[in-house]
Structure 1
């Protein structure tokens, strides 16, 4: 990118003041999406006038969009409360849409659009341009369900970008997508599996964790992933908690990701 010139052809922003910071809505013209891409940012007051703040990207699940983690999951209020209590350093939340393809894009490249590049490359660029934060600040990625799949796979694929990654109630393979979406499986391109991506980059990936509710429809997929990684000698953390595939679970346990990222950062 040329100095002083935006990577994106157009950028539109608007703000919603919050008690501890600001929610900033952003729409950019995304080359990877071939159209507009949306993201919500949460910038805590402790990040003001700083250019070295860690960035946490949160990926939503099927049916939702960039607003889901803030409005349904209260992720920004959880983050602000933890920052105010001293249990977290200041962090910026970036909550992008998945590209709004079908019921859910899977955060992969298919159908003539690169939903993976939107997340891995363009969202960090947009955060830097809109906030003035350094593009070289530490980046982390997490998500729920389809977003957990995206976070685990993209986090493992781009270790030079993401210092650590996390998933909640994660889809573990594109083969799980038909449990939620009406689009045919072959529309998502070649099958993608979290375990394969982790093993491919096993020598370079950062620390990672994932969790799942014991009443979740994806519990056996997550247990199988944990067994596969353990058999391969991969270092990771896996936890199970009471709960199902629902916002009450994710609202409570997103704090686990924040705490994990803070421990890696420190």
Structure 2
């Protein structure tokens, strides 16, 4: 019997399998670094009172995306009451984060508390590391703007003139990039521990395809250079005091203010971690609901 040498079919197959395993290990390692700035967080678990989520519903449906070239599960979190004419909040997840992890009690309790002002929340899926822009792995920005959002509006009977977009980490950077790509479409934009870098060389591996992709899609550079039209809507940025993205997020907020943008910036205890975002989910939803209500009054 022939041995599984490096040039035999079996040897080549084994070598490919080893390379795939190594690549997956690398992705998992980077994802762990993105989702956790430090392993010794002192933040306690977030607790939600019994009954605080009553009336909220989590639903899922499949969307066959031509832009991304695959089937993607959409998660929507529905507030209590009639959905017709409600506004839409698009909330983009972090790198390697399951979007359904955002549809937990802190978000649902915040929606229930908002009552008739609560938006429907859309949590799109991706490939785990899209950074929510059109790139070699798929047209992820086009998928969100022209497939995921219109489908949610049509299925649920929402008010497509009142939309906000925000996100966690990778999703925060993506929210600003998508709002820049679709000026005037969103009533508010938010980045929660937004994964912003000041240069292509500083970016995590895989965040962008190359330096050109970085220049086209990262949110900070165009604002600093004065290349883009103003957002012209309420903006939100926040990050924990132990978050490695805090310096760049603060730089981004300052650059936006220098352009005359209406930016709320805050920080507080915590790192780049789910407990930090869960602790502030109520504030995030208050911001989006207020901006969406003001948007309705203006229109």
Paired residue for 1:158? Answer: 182
> Is the Cα contact below 8 Å between 1:22 and 1:43 reproduced in 2?
yes
Which ranges in structure 1 are unaligned for 5 or more consecutive residues?
1-17
Partner Cα separation in structure 1 for residue 155 and residue 211 of structure 2: 31
Higher strand proportion, which one?
1
* Structure-2 separation of matches of 1:26 and 1:189: 35
TM-aligned CA distance change 1:258 to 1:201, over 3 Å: farther
Residue in structure 2 matched with residue 194 of structure 1 by the alignment: 219
Give me the whole-angstrom Cα distance separating, in 2, the residues matched to 1:177 and 1:221: 11
Aligned to 1:36: 71
Residue 114 of structure 2 corresponds to 83
Q: Tell me by how many angstroms 1:112 deviates.
A: 5.0
SS in 1 for 2:175: helix
Measure how far apart 1:58 and its partner are.
0.6
Residues in 1 aligned to 2:202 and 2:195: alpha-carbon distance in whole angstroms: 7
State the alpha-carbon separation in 2 of the partners of residues 22 and 107 from structure 1.
26
1:211: Cα distance to partner?
Answer: 0.7
Q: Which residue of 2 aligns with 1:240?
A: 267
Contact persistence 2:242–2:271 (CA under 8 A): yes
Residues 235 and 90 (structure 1), Cα distance of their counterparts in 2 relative to 1, 3 Å cut: closer
Instruction: Give the structure-2-normalised TM-score.
Output: 0.71
- For the pair 1:24 / 2:59, whether they are aligned, the reply is yes
Indicate the SS of the match to 1:105: coil
SS of equivalent residue, structure 1 residue 202: coil
Mapped pair 1:92 → 2:117: no
Verify: 1:226 aligned to 2:250, yes or no: no
RMSD of aligned residue pairs (Cα, Å): 2.5
Distance in 2 (alpha carbons) for counterparts of 1:36 and 1:123: 11
Aligned to 1:141: 165
- Per the alignment, residue 11 of structure 1 pairs with none
Query: Per-residue displacement from partner, 1:93-143 (whole Å, max 9, x unpaired)?
Result: 10111x21xx51110111152100111221211112321224x24000111
Higher percent of residues as helix = 2
Match of 1:56 in 2: 89
**TM-score by structure 1 length?**
0.79
Count of residue correspondences: 236
Question: Per the alignment, do residues 160 and 249 of structure 1 end up closer, same or farther by CA in structure 2, a change over 3 Å counting?
Answer: same
Partners of 1:38 and 1:66 within 8 A in 2: no
- Looking at both structures, which has the greater relative contact order when contacts are Cα pairs under 8 Å and sequence separation is at least 6? 2
Q: How far apart in 1 are the matches of 2:260 and 2:61?
A: 41
- Classify the secondary structure of the residue corresponding to 1:162: coil
Q: Which runs of no fewer than 5 residues in structure 2 stay unpaired?
A: 1-52, 294-299
